[in-house]
Homo-oligomer: A and B are copies of this chain.
Amino acid sequence: MDQINFWIGVIATVAVAVTGVLAIADRGVDLFGVLVLGVITAIGGGTVRDIILGVPVFWSASQMYLWIALGACVVAFFAESFFTQPQTYRWMLYIDGLGAALFGIQGVDKAWNLDFGLPVAPVILGVVTAIGGGLLRDVLAGRKTLLMSHELYAIPVTLGCGLYILVLNFLPQYTLEGSVICMLTIFGLRVAAIYWELRVPKLFITKTR
């Protein structure tokens, strides 16, 4: 399982970094900006989570994710035209959804194991892990953030993380199975949102005056 998690983590980091770069590429960013913003997209959420948890940031112990993210950004920069092909881009979005699922559940796990603000704070930290990097990127790049976009991205993550808290609390003997199911829930909802281009229904959006 750790082995699987490791490889999902690697593949997800690549996808998150690549989609992170592609999201800003149309604004004319230089290679240095691409590296910084792509890496922030990939590791920013986990960094904010660790700062709030008051534990050493995860990339102080091992720089592997940093290097993977850096490498993915360089590749995304030079192979931009490959990744922006509709078919490839859609695949990257799916894998990015897998990343959000993995990062979210990992974030919940970390907070839960530290007994941090049970039961609700772990959900918040799971969501922070999954979407924090993208928020930081958008703010630094001057883009509209996810929170204003009506995309179904943070909502699946929140549902999955909330579900996982229920598992941890009421079915602690099924933690492993529960984490897989919750990840698949997030991933499945995200795939559906990408495939059918689902958005938040108008009923749940404040009226623009």
Enumerate chain A interface residues (CB-CB to B < 8 A): 24-34, 36-37, 47, 51-52, 54, 56-57, 59-61, 63, 66-67, 77, 80, 116-117, 120-121, 124, 135, 139-142, 144-145, 147-148, 150, 154-155, 158, 200, 204-209
Contacts and interface: CB of A to CB of B under 8 A. Distances in A.
Given A147-B36, A148-B27, A200-B30, A63 B121 contact: yes
13 contacts: A25-B207, A26-B206, A28-B206, A28-B207, A28-B208, A32-B147, A52-B57, A63-B117, A140-B147, A141-B147, A142-B144, A142-B145, A142-B148
A37 B149 CA distance: 13
Nearest to A208: B28
Given A145-B142, A148-B141, A200-B31, A36 B208 contact: no
Contact of A51 (B52, B77, B144, B148): B52
A151 B95 CA distance: 33
B29 A121 contact: no
A103 to B, nearest CB: 17
Nearest to A52: B57
B116 A31 contact: no
A201 to B, nearest CB: 9
Contacts of A33: 147-148
